[in-house]
Amino acid sequence: MSIVTPKSLTQAEDEGRPRTFELPQLLQARTGKMTRELLLNPGDHGLGMTPESLQAETTTVAACGYCATGCGLRLHVRDGQAVGLTPETEYPVNLGMACPKGWEALEVLAADDRATYPLLRDADGEMKRVDWDTALTTFTERFKSIQSQHGNDSVAFLSTGQIPCEEMAFLGALAKFGMGMLHGDGNTRQCMATAVTAYKESFGFDSPPYTYDDFQQSDCMVFVGANPCIGHPIMWERVLRNPNSPEIIVLDPRRTETAMAATQHLQLRPKHDLAILYAITQHLIASDLIDHEYVAAHTTGFETLAEHVASFTPDVVGPAAGITADAIRRAAESIGQADAASLWWTMGVNQSYQGTRTAQAMINIALITGNIGRPGTGANSITGQCNAMGSRLWSNTTNLFGHHKFESAEDRERVARILDIDVDRIPDQGSWSYDRIVEGIRRDEIKGLWVIATNPAHSWIHQGDFKELLDKLDFLVVQDMYASTETAQHADLLLPAAGWGEKEGTFINSERRYGLLKKVRKAPGEALADFQIFRGIAAYWGVESMFADWTHPEAVFEKMQAASEGRPCDISGIQGYRQIDQSGGIQWPWTRQDAASNDVPPQQRRLFADGTFYHSDGNARLIVDAVAAMPEPPDSEYPILLMSGRGTVSQWHTQTRTSKSKVLRKLYPQRPYVEIHPTDASLIGVRNGDTVSVRSRRGEIFVTAMVTPTVQRNQAFIPMHYDVTNQLTLSHFDPHSRQPSYKDCAVAITKV
Ligand SMILES: Nc1nc2c(c(=O)[nH]1)N[C@H]1C(S)=C(S)[C@@H](COP(=O)(O)OP(=O)(O)OC[C@H]3O[C@@H](n4cnc5c(=O)[nH]c(N)nc54)[C@H](O)[C@@H]3O)O[C@H]1N2
Ligand SMILES: Nc1nc2c(c(=O)[nH]1)N[C@H]1C(S)=C(S)[C@@H](COP(=O)(O)OP(=O)(O)OC[C@H]3O[C@@H](n4cnc5c(=O)[nH]c(N)nc54)[C@H](O)[C@@H]3O)O[C@H]1N2
Ligand code: SF4
Ligand SMILES: [Mo]
């Protein structure tokens, strides 16, 4: 008996590659089905422990699949199908609360445009239904043929922060070790790359240090480029529960919902954050609001920092940044005098051409004031997608599995041993970043692309250019829950995927908490969990033996545990999915040693209590740099600076999911709109609700004018949820993180 044995497997054997596994006993034992059967009878294969456990239970708790707050949702199950949900009161993240997206999470699974069977583009350019055998045979033949003509590295993948860790791990291992790809990146680059780079350089590891309890324990909170009222509403609820009447300082060019709730709103000119943070640092030093003992014991670089910021006085920076010197001094004093100050950032920092240094300027402030490792403190990056944290550790894109280094022979040996694969299959260099992969298409270096759980034809920067490049590919595979996405429309092959609620695995939230996904619905039609699709591809590609024991998500979780051992992200002490389920999630690290001395993982754990960071000398680095110039500042032809970001609580990204709920649709404007200042509007004769043209050097779009004083003069804002937005954006990046700078380009707005 064997699992699907395509020609290529025999070829692989002929080439002398070891085949370590003959009979899929484990797979059979766990699922009672074999790959061929799975592929012939798809639709019900999220796998894992839930189906049995659900028969006994009427409810079960799963982590939400939208934002990285990671709320616990209690799913009410009847006859093996979820029929409703309520926010879980016992879950340590959300304490019984959820936002509208969470409440409506089940609704969007039933949409008409779900991808229910594989689609293949025929000779006439039409997408036609095919069976899984044809789909996976075509996948294999087309990509192999491209690789044999143009080299293995001519096929790349783009993945996501929205599938479970175990699926990311599978994809990364399959693509890189199995299919021989070198290049694969994900939408986490659009989102968190800057935070990753900043933490790595400053702390020695990508390690957001906080726990959500810190929202309730701070007495001064600084939010930079973050609008949690819209983007992370349940985190904001935690802020509202803070009993200390905290000082809340918001740096945002717009008067957002969050800024309105602040005690100090520094309504800066866009991209002046770095100068302002240096001025805050300068004032802290000048006023001796520094924790000298902490600086001496736990940091490196204070002298250089002090010298660097000396010229950034509030008097110089304030007027240039569009705020007063006093506002800067007041903010600095609030931070310096607080018992517990915390600094939080999101996309207003990460999505910037100087994002990494801006994030590090915040980290510097936390360090020099000794605001780290204690309750209510920290330099805290808030994560975007439900599992962007998982992709940072497990996706095998920039880092090798478990945040190892591709470049290190020792790391490659370790990972090869743990995964029981030939070390020569692990590339000795990391992937090109997302933008470099896109450039690779332009330069004919990338000919085949596999896109999984992301919708770049809507979300990537300078969209017109990107769409042209998609059509230049020899073969584009899109693997998505919905057949109608902007990217799916360019696909040659569409693989229908199960979504949240239809499969199992783990997500890691913003505070490093592993939470569980549950399979509480059957995926529609022939859609399969991404996990199963990867299993199928492994079989058709001929590398099935390499993944013989990757039978179900929890088996992969065990590999993750082994790879994490002894590293900052150690989870070797977790007693399987069941313990995650019983504990309301478990934060990393949770080591064997931790587990030996505690039966139950404590709920709110933060990093760096002992002031030891992950650099070899244990010290954190204080990193500074020159302030960079905006590449496309407004001028007489394009006089308005355009920002973009989240519009409402009820819209998620490219709207493939949230637009499918009747309830959510009532909660946001259907037509794309631009926020402009009343004076700017009156100068072009535009009233609220009029249609305007918004034109940049890259495109022109027609949208509704929303005239509002929440944006400043000569600035404008368009939510990213409408597909037109990225027709305007300028392709430019942070030089260290390669994250796109989505929030600054010059436009002209006129009445039509
Ligand atoms: N409802 C909803 N929630 C979401 C998402 C969603 O799509 N919808 N997406 C999730 C994801 S993946 C992410 S990454 C997060 C994003 O969460 P946030 O980062 O909070 O959201 P954004 O609106 O992108 O950007 C935040 C703010 O940055 C400001 N900004 C723009 N330019 C600058 C600048 O130069 N300096 C400063 N200081 N601020 C600036 C904008 O005015 C905006 O208010 O939200 C997550 N949560
Ligand atoms: N102008 C501008 N552009 C931006 C931003 C901005 O602020 N301004 N923000 C950026 C940021 S922070 C982000 S995170 C990106 C987000 O950009 P994208 O990642 O492109 O947006 P999503 O709509 O979340 O796309 C996820 C896709 O995965 C599919 N999907 C969901 N679950 C599953 C699953 O389990 N399996 C599979 N196979 N598919 C699934 C969904 O249907 C959807 O098509 O956008 C970026 N783009
Ligand atoms: S705040 Fe985020 S995690 Fe919580 S319910 Fe809303 S989308 Fe889900
Ligand atoms: Mo994001």
Domain containing residue 325: CATH number? 3.40.228.10
Task: Answer yes or no: do 198 and 346 share one domain.
Answer: yes
CA dihedral (510, 430, 402, 357) positive or negative = negative
Q: Whose CA is nearest to atom 2 of ligand 3?
A: 67
Tell me which residue has tokens 């079960």: 60
CA distance 721 to 647: 7
Distance 458 CA to ligand 2 centre (A): 8
Task: Answer yes or no: do 295 and 365 share one domain.
Answer: yes
Q: Is residue 155 part of a domain?
A: yes
Instruction: Provide the edge-to-edge strand list for the sheet that holds 475-480.
Output: 127-129, 119-121, 493-496, 475-480, 448-452, 155-159, 184-186
Q: Is residue 557 part of a domain?
A: no
Task: Answer yes or no: do 164 and 219 share one domain.
Answer: no
Q: Is residue 327 part of a domain?
A: yes
Distance 63 CA to ligand 3 centre (A): 9
Listed in order, strand segments (DSSP E) in 125-219 are 127-129, 155-159, 184-186
Q: Is residue 499 part of a domain?
A: yes
Q: Which ligand is nearest the CA of 382, by number?
A: 1
* CATH assignment of the domain containing 729: 2.40.40.20
Distance 511 CA to ligand 1 centre (A): 18
pLDDT given at position 80: 83
CA distance 456 to 476: 12
Q: What is the identity of the amino acid at 1?
A: M
Distance 450 CA to ligand 2 centre (A): 15
Can you read off the two tokens belonging to residue 185?
A: 């990146």
H or E segment and range at residue 330: helix 325-337
Nearest of 362, 348, 378 to residue 284 by alpha carbon: 362
Task: Answer yes or no: do 436 and 507 share one domain.
Answer: yes
List, as one string, the DSSP characters of 652-665.
-TT-TTGGG-HHHH
Under-50 pLDDT residues of the chain:
1-34, 36, 40-51, 53
Q: Which ligand is nearest the CA of 104, by number?
A: 3
Ligand 2 atom closest to residue 191's alpha carbon, by position in its atom list: 12
Task: Answer yes or no: do 79 and 154 share one domain.
Answer: no
Task: Answer yes or no: do 302 and 326 share one domain.
Answer: yes
Task: Answer yes or no: do 44 and 106 share one domain.
Answer: yes
Task: Answer yes or no: do 349 and 394 share one domain.
Answer: no
CA distance 121 to 473: 14
| Cβ atoms of residues 264 and 351 within 8 Å | no
Q: Whose CA is nearest to atom 8 of ligand 1?
A: 652
Say what the pTM is: 0.94
Task: Answer yes or no: do 338 and 254 share one domain.
Answer: yes
Can you read off the two tokens belonging to residue 231?
A: 């983007």
Nearest of 380, 382, 389 to residue 218 by alpha carbon: 380
Residue 404 DSSP code = B
Q: Is residue 600 part of a domain?
A: no
Ligand 2 atom closest to residue 192's alpha carbon, by position in its atom list: 12
Q: Which ligand is nearest the CA of 718, by number?
A: 2
Q: Counting every residue, how long is the chain? A: 752
Distance 382 CA to ligand 2 centre (A): 17
Tell me which residue has tokens 């997302």: 434
Q: Whose CA is nearest to atom 20 of ligand 2?
A: 455
Q: Whose CA is nearest to atom 45 of ligand 2?
A: 459
Q: Measure CA 504 to chain center.
A: 19
Ligand 2 atom closest to residue 488's alpha carbon, by position in its atom list: 44
Distance 440 CA to ligand 1 centre (A): 29
Tell me which residue range forms the domain holding 209.
Answer: 193-381
Residue 163 DSSP code = S
Distance 22 CA to ligand 3 centre (A): 44
**Count of helices and strands (H, E) across the chain:** 30, 26
Distance 102 CA to ligand 1 centre (A): 18
Q: Is residue 452 part of a domain?
A: yes
CA distance 586 to 91: 11
Total domain count for the chain? 4
Ligand 3 atom closest to residue 63's alpha carbon, by position in its atom list: 3
Task: Answer yes or no: do 225 and 350 share one domain.
Answer: yes
Ligand 2 atom closest to residue 350's alpha carbon, by position in its atom list: 12
Give the residues surrounding ligand 1 with Cβ less than 6 Å away. Answer: 67, 191, 224-227, 230-232, 251-254, 256, 270-271, 273, 346-348, 384-385, 643, 645-646, 649, 651-653, 743
pLDDT given at position 25: 33
Report residue 603: phi and psi, to 5°.
-75, -30
Is 75 near ligand 2, meaning CB less than 6 Å away? no
Ligand 2 atom closest to residue 500's alpha carbon, by position in its atom list: 35
Maximum distance among all Cα pairs of the chain, rounded to whole angstroms? 78
pLDDT given at position 657: 98
**Could you report how far apart the first and last alpha carbons of the chain are, in Å?**
69
Angle between helices 553-564 and 409-419 (to 10 degrees): 150
Q: Whose CA is nearest to atom 4 of ligand 3?
A: 71
Distance 386 CA to ligand 2 centre (A): 11
**In a 3-state reduction of DSSP, which class is residue 459?**
helix
Task: Answer yes or no: do 166 and 240 share one domain.
Answer: no
Distance 646 CA to ligand 1 centre (A): 5
Q: Is residue 85 part of a domain?
A: yes
Task: Answer yes or no: do 104 and 137 share one domain.
Answer: no
Q: Which ligand is nearest the CA of 358, by number?
A: 1
pLDDT given at position 55: 56
Alpha-carbon Rg for the chain in angstroms = 25
Residue 21 DSSP code = -
Strands 341-345 and 220-224, sheet pairing: parallel
H or E segment and range at residue 506: strand 502-508
CA distance 529 to 43: 8
CA distance 489 to 193: 28
* CATH assignment of the domain containing 529: 3.40.50.740
Residue 528 DSSP code = B
End residue of a domain, out of 325, 352, 381: 381
End residue of a domain, out of 63, 90, 110: 110
Ligand 3 atom closest to residue 87's alpha carbon, by position in its atom list: 5
Distance 478 CA to ligand 2 centre (A): 13
Contacts of 383 (CB under 8 A, 6+ apart): 68, 191, 192, 195, 208, 389, 509, 510
Strands 448-452 and 155-159, sheet pairing: parallel
Ligand 3 atom closest to residue 94's alpha carbon, by position in its atom list: 4
End residue of a domain, out of 327, 360, 381: 381
H or E segment and range at residue 671: none
Q: Is residue 362 part of a domain?
A: yes
HEC string for 562-587: HHHCCCCCCCCCCCHHHHHHHHCCEE
